[in-house]
């Protein structure tokens, strides 16, 4: 089993959660250091050393689940030509929770998502 932090379309109830859902053993809320940016139909997490936080969920998935998420995120391995990179991260509030997260290394031209929460941002965007 592997923990993966998700913050956008892979969240429970969002449009790409069905990719991970068959492989999810457990879901927990979480928060990690980073900046969330708007890339149109989905967000991207950008690493930062500043006190910025992204809210999301930790999914405990099987190995095939991680493989399915890798395909969705176009992650082909450490030497691959990746859309997103997969890096190890630790939860900001529970140091014992750590796992993988997909990050974007180039957010030029993308607007920051205030508050670091995709769901809140979507609700406000629709209103």
Which sequence spans correspond to the domains of the chain?
2-126
**Residue in the block written with tokens 């406000």:** 124
Provide the 8-state DSSP code for 43. E
Considering the chain, what percentage of its residues have pLDDT values greater than 70?
99
pLDDT confidence of residue 59: 98
Q: What is the mean pLDDT of the chain?
A: 92
In terms of pLDDT, which residue wins out, 49 or 110? 110
Write down the CATH number for the domain with range 2-126: 3.10.490.10
Q: Rounded to an integer, what distance in angstroms lies between the CA atom of residue 93 and that of residue 31?
A: 7
Which residue among the candidates 14, 73, 85, 93 is catalytic per the annotation?
A: 73
Q: For residue 78, count CB atoms less than 10 angstroms from its CB and return exposed for 0-12, middle for 13-18, buried for 19 or more.
A: exposed
Annotated active-site residue 73? The verdict is yes
pLDDT of 122 strictly over 90: no
Enter the pTM of the model.
Answer: 0.93
What is the pLDDT confidence band of residue 110, given thresholds at 50, 70 and 90? confident
6 by Cβ neighbours in 10 Å (0-12 / 13-18 / 19+) ranks as buried
108 pLDDT more than 80: no
Q: What is the pLDDT of residues 54-105, one digit of tens each?
A: 999 999 999 999 999 999 999 998 888 888 899 999 999 998 999 999 998 7
Backbone torsions φ then ψ of 105, nearest 5 degrees:
-95, -10
- Name 71's Cβ contacts closer than 8 Å, sequence gap at least 6: none
> Given this model, what pLDDT does residue 125 score?
77
């Amino acid at each position: 089993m592997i923990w993966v932090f998700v913050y956008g379309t892979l969240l429970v109830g969002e449009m790409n959660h069905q990719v991970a859902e068959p492989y999810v053993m457990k879901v927990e809320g979480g928060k990690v250091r980073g900046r969330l940016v708007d890339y149109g139909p989905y967000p991207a997490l950008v690493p930062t050393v500043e006190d910025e936080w992204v809210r999301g969920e930790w999914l405990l998935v099987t190995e095939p689940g991680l493989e399915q998420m890798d395909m969705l995120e176009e992650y082909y391995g450490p030497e691959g030509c990746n859309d997103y990179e997969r890096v190890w991260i630790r939860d900001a509030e529970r140091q014992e929770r750590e796992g993988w997260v997909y990050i974007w290394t180039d957010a030029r031209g993308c607007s920051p998502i205030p508050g670091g929460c995709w769901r809140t941002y979507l609700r406000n965007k629709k209103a």
